[in-house]
Amino acid sequence: MKYVILIHSNPQPWGHPTSDYTSEYQALPAQQQKDLGARWEKVFGDADAKGEIIYGCALGDPTSSRVFHFQGEPLPIDGPYAESKEHLAGFFLIDVESQERAEEIAAAFSCPGDTIELRPTMRPGCES
């Protein structure tokens, strides 16, 4: 089963990993930052070693995007696309055996300042 882990965040300035640039994460005591970092390293490292991580990508600054609205024809304007405070900052595509395992990996991405969204992907095939 494949899922995407979507990382929504508002780093200031825009940068990666987002936690280096969010005020919420930077306000944490150093030890807690270290613990969260170590937890992510462990979970991600295990998942990668098992071949569960398919692809990951950090995204550029949302203001660098071009947004195409269709008004009789494609009409490009400067981004960001979303009005909201948080933006899609990056994503990982994972392939795991269960929803529980997907949630386990997604949870390791969770930290103050970032919102993690776990979304299943659709398959082109069907069950027998």
Partner 1 sequence: MLVLCCHPSLSTASAVALTLRAVAGLTTREIAAGLLVPETTAAQRISRAKATLRARGARFGTVEAAELPQRLHAVRHVLHLIFTTGAAPPSGGDVINHDLVTEAIRLTERLHRALPRDPETMGLLALMVLVEARAAARTRDGILIPLAEQDREVWDQHKIARGVSLLEAALPHGPVGPFQIQAAIAAVHATAETLQSTDWAQIHELYRMLLTVAPGPAAALGAAIALSELDGPAAGLEALQPLLTARPRDHRILAAQAHLLDALGSPEAADAYQRAATLTDSIPEQRYLNAKARHARS
Q: Which residues bind partner 1 (CB under 8 A)?
A: 1-2, 49-52, 54-55, 95, 97, 120-128
b (16+ CB within 10 A) / e for 114-123: bebebeeeee
Give me the least distance between CB of 103 and partner 1, in Å please: 12
Of 28 and 118, CB closest to partner 1: 118
Query: Residue 67 CB, nearest distance to partner 1 (Å)?
Result: 27
Report CA-CA distances (Å) from 118 to 30, 56, 89, 103, 122: 28, 14, 14, 7, 13
Q: How far is the CB of 56 from partner 1 (least distance, A)?
A: 12
- Rank residues 34 and 50 by Cβ distance to partner 1 and give the closer one: 50
Angle at 4 between CA 83 and CA 12, to 5 degrees: 40
Nearer to partner 1, 76 or 120 (CB): 120
